[in-house]
Structure 1
Amino acid sequence: MVPSRVRTGRWVAAARAAQRRPRVDSLGQPPSPESASTRAALYVHVSGQGRAEGGGGRGCSVHSPPARCPCLTSHLWPYCEKRCSYCNFNKYIPRGVEEGTVRNCLVTEARTLLQLSGVQRIESVFFGGGTPSLASPHTVAAVLEAVAQEVYLPADSEVTLEANPTSAPGPRLAAFGAAGVNRLSIGLQSLDDTELQLLGRTHSASDALRTLAEARLLFPGRVSVDLMLGLPAQKVEPWLQQLQKLLYHCDDHLSLYQLTLERGTSLFAQVQQGTLPAPDPDLAAEMYQEGRTVLRDAGFRQYEVSNFARNGALSTHNWTYWQCGQYLGIGPGAHGRFVPQGTGGHTREARIQTLEPDNWMKEVMLFGHGTRKCVPLGKLELLEEVLAMGLRTDVGVTHQHWQQFEPQLTLWDVFGASKEVEELLAQGLLLLDYRGLRCSWEGLAVLDSLLLTLLPQLQEAWQHRPPSPVSGG
């Protein structure tokens, strides 16, 4: 049963007032080095593979190449009504789950990691899944209030909730809005009922469009949808017709994702057994290229490889990932990246929370958090992420941003004299100028192949860098 109202705390009340103010787009300018060390995003999650947007069912869209993905993140609510045929996320079909216990553990771990990180301001919060829209709005409100009590959480911070059409009727969405959510990411995936059935989704195309319409009424200008491409037997023209239809119904943010066949899933097994044809990579590439052209002509800015926005509706939370900002992950299987200043640390760590929910809850109740592993990141590793992540965006890696991570070795030092990079510049795939290093519109579509040249170039330049200046020398 959906509660008629959510008990309003101080932050939630302020956030509801802030939702009535117009959004201001301030992305694209990196924060100062001082503020970067005290700011972070918060990803509230339990388990599964990480990605920037939507309802799951693909490899990591945040990091490229996939083998370099540092997050493999999991999500707030790991429970689902059923497992989709393409999904290998860490999900669970609930068997008498006690949400109050999960809620208390999320609040406890959030407090602990915020204190450990030394973060003073949370810029955005993303509730992912699983199916977080199956959780109660009270759980969302409790986490947000706890964060606001520990650090500064601006009332107009972007607070995103992932939702599946069948678990998010209008009244339930309104209750999440009352709990502090101000942005929705809907796992629509397809507007073809046969494809949805193939994917094992519990909703129909009409369900998806109805939920989308209700969401836009409640969160105007702040609704994102996913559309998948590269499914078995999928053809270019019918898929483009789906995209054109979606343009009549969608809001100002849209994500295009290619299906990744994951070992251990039903869909993978069917392809291996020959009962389904393998997805055609050439057709998928054509869909992607044609799709991004359609979206560009419709006024959408491709601000990242898979993400498109118009009217300034870029995702603040996503932008933190691509700018290699700090982020905290709470919940079973969550991954985070921050400097643990509470222990006097100075090195950024990749932190991994315990995967299985029951074990995670036991550890949180014993120790205040369920961190299973901490891996310090070397300077070169961090620079590789800055490069690979930044080039996913249309802004690329600016000189100012690069210098925040490496003040001695400039982008010109690394790439300016490389013949291989010079070829990519001549082909019009890359741009290296006074702004920094970035992909052209054509280059953005083949980023993985460009990184095969750029990452070794960075590694070689790092090995031959001049020694750092010694204080007093």
Structure 2
Amino acid sequence: MITHMFRKASCFSPGLRRFSGLKVTEHVPESPASPRLTEQASLYVHWPYCLRRCTYCNFNKYVSKENNEDIMAKCLQRETETLLQLSQVSCITSVFFGGGTPSLAHPSTIAKILETVSKQVNLSDEAEVTLEVNPTPVGMSKLKDYHHVGVNRFSIGVQSLQDKDLKSLGRDHNSLDALQTLAEARKLCPGGVSVDIMFGRPNQTTDLWSRELSEMLRVCDDHVSLYQLTLERGTQLFKQVQSGQVTMPTEEITAEMYQCARTTLQQHGFQQYEVSNFAKNNSESRHNLSYWTGKQYIGVGPGAHGRFVPLGEGGVTREARTQTLEPDVWIREVRQRGHGTRRRIQLGHLELLEEVLVMGMRMTKGINHKHWELFSPELSLLEIFGGSLAVQELLQSGLLILDDRGLRCSWDGLALLDSMLPVLLVELDRIFFPKTGS
């Protein structure tokens, strides 16, 4: 099992490729600018600040030396307004405040951003609005105010119930803080609380992990996200491992932990719906499902990513957009031109299908034929993958399933997704660029 499937997907390589060499039907592919694909989007808002950096973290977050919340709030509002106008979407289906530590932001900041969205587009009362919360006493004290201004789902970064591990990871909460925050969040949003928990931690064993997870499931709500701890260059944890101060579990042990977690969660009534996400009582994250089903999303804030068609400037192709990383530089750019977009990459037809494939295969239900046809009416899943010897081997091994429902991983295959994706991507590429000659 390869670790990166537990992390957010990164952008694909840039460049437009020529669609050629295909025997296609007369059905014209639906444009990425088709109303069916561009009327709606989800919105991600990135709060870049933390009180301190965890030992394992290499995300785009900063420890602020001064209180500039008023400036940040105004710039987040302005960029939200600019990008919504640029996308010309009529409806935002979900909003996700991530970070960083967005629970450091004042509830009034969250309220202002949601008000900005509502003034520009339709944001219904049923829209999912999620806020990531660091389970500290300060974070817990603001939950009621966040809920009052429109947050209806909390994502609690518990990570561990072992105080020793929390301290070694550099977290600024303890297990009691986590349990109290979780209990308060569940009172406010019953069925709308997600728990993040991390495995593969230093010196962790499968037995310890199993007991900890069972303890967590006795107190958590209806959604759990698993994350495998990965070593990232430049982090304090990486240096500790390199120097021999800390020992990490082997890849074989972390694979056991993952399978143990899947079985344990299933026994507690949780259904796995994505590689690292489990839910019961229909509490799946609608925001994340929009990513995995290839829908448009708009990224606001330093380092945020987005995928949408810029109809407001005459665009007809979906773009992969990345906002400027550094908060101070991003603030300056937003003040100057209304947004801090640093990079824009037009996604060609193949690039779009690659993203639909990679993200869709993360889900346990995979990609059904009707969904694939929305993006590729000229070539079906069966036409692309049915004749491949390499894919046939995966089908015969029971790791992959291609049938009347669509394309998906089996239970065992989902744990090996990263080893199968290159095979599928090669076949997709081969269809677009068939080899000539012998």
TM-score where L is the length of structure 1: 0.83
Compare relative contact order (CA 8 Å, sep 6+) and give the higher one, 1 or 2: 2
The 2-side partners of 1:247 and 1:162 are apart by 19
The 2-side partners of 1:169 and 1:98 are apart by 19
- Equivalent residues of 2:87, 2:310 under 8 A apart: yes
Selected match of 1:145 from 104, 108, 115: 115
Counterpart of 2:30 in structure 1 is none
Selected match of 1:387 from 357, 364, 384: 357
SS at match of 2:155: strand
Structure 1 residues 30-45: aligned runs within 5 Å: 34-45=35-46
Counterpart residue identity of residue 386, structure 1: V
Q: Does 1:291 align with 2:292?
A: no
Counterpart of 2:404 in structure 1 is 434
Counterpart residue identity of residue 228, structure 1: M
- Equivalent residues of 1:168, 1:211 under 8 A apart: no
The 2-side partners of 1:451 and 1:92 are apart by 34
How far did residue 420 of structure 1 move? 1.6
Mark the CA change 1:168 to 1:402 in structure 2 (over 3 Å): closer, same or farther: farther
Q: Does 1:206 align with 2:207?
A: no
SS at match of 2:218: helix
Counterpart of 2:68 in structure 1 is 98
Query: Considering only aligned residues, what root-mean-square deviation do their CA atoms show, in Å?
Result: 1.4
Counterpart of 2:220 in structure 1 is 250
SS at match of 1:431: strand
- Equivalent residues of 1:254, 1:309 under 8 A apart: yes
Mark the CA change 1:314 to 1:275 in structure 2 (over 3 Å): closer, same or farther: same
Mark the CA change 1:373 to 1:167 in structure 2 (over 3 Å): closer, same or farther: farther
Q: Does 1:375 align with 2:345?
A: yes
How far did residue 338 of structure 1 move? 0.5
How far did residue 107 of structure 1 move? 0.6
The 1-side partners of 2:322 and 2:387 are apart by 39
The 2-side partners of 1:232 and 1:378 are apart by 42
Counterpart of 1:461 in structure 2 is 431
- Equivalent residues of 1:364, 1:370 under 8 A apart: yes
SS at match of 2:370: helix
How far did residue 168 of structure 1 move? 4.5
How far did residue 424 of structure 1 move? 1.3
- Equivalent residues of 2:200, 2:248 under 8 A apart: no
Selected match of 1:177 from 141, 147, 153: 147
- Equivalent residues of 2:197, 2:227 under 8 A apart: yes
Percent of aligned pairs sharing the same letter: 57
Counterpart residue identity of residue 330, structure 2: W
Counterpart of 2:236 in structure 1 is 266
- Equivalent residues of 1:134, 1:167 under 8 A apart: no
Selected match of 1:304 from 251, 255, 274: 274
Counterpart residue identity of residue 411, structure 2: W
How far did residue 142 of structure 1 move? 0.3
- Runs of 4+ residues over 2 Å off in structure 1: 32-36, 167-171
Counterpart residue identity of residue 340, structure 1: P
Stretches of structure 1 lacking an aligned partner (at least 5 in a row): 1-31, 46-76, 466-473
How far did residue 260 of structure 1 move? 1.0
Counterpart of 2:162 in structure 1 is 192
SS at match of 2:93: strand
The 1-side partners of 2:386 and 2:34 are apart by 25
Q: Does 1:413 align with 2:383?
A: yes
- Equivalent residues of 2:160, 2:198 under 8 A apart: yes
How far did residue 313 of structure 1 move? 0.1
The 2-side partners of 1:167 and 1:218 are apart by 16
Selected match of 2:317 from 329, 347, 351: 347
How far did residue 210 of structure 1 move? 1.0
1:131-157 deviation per Cα after TM superposition (whole angstroms, max 9, x unaligned): 100100000000001001101111110
SS at match of 1:149: helix
Stretches of structure 2 lacking an aligned partner (at least 5 in a row): 1-32
Counterpart residue identity of residue 44, structure 1: V
Counterpart residue identity of residue 251, structure 1: D
How far did residue 170 of structure 1 move? 4.1
Counterpart of 1:123 in structure 2 is 93
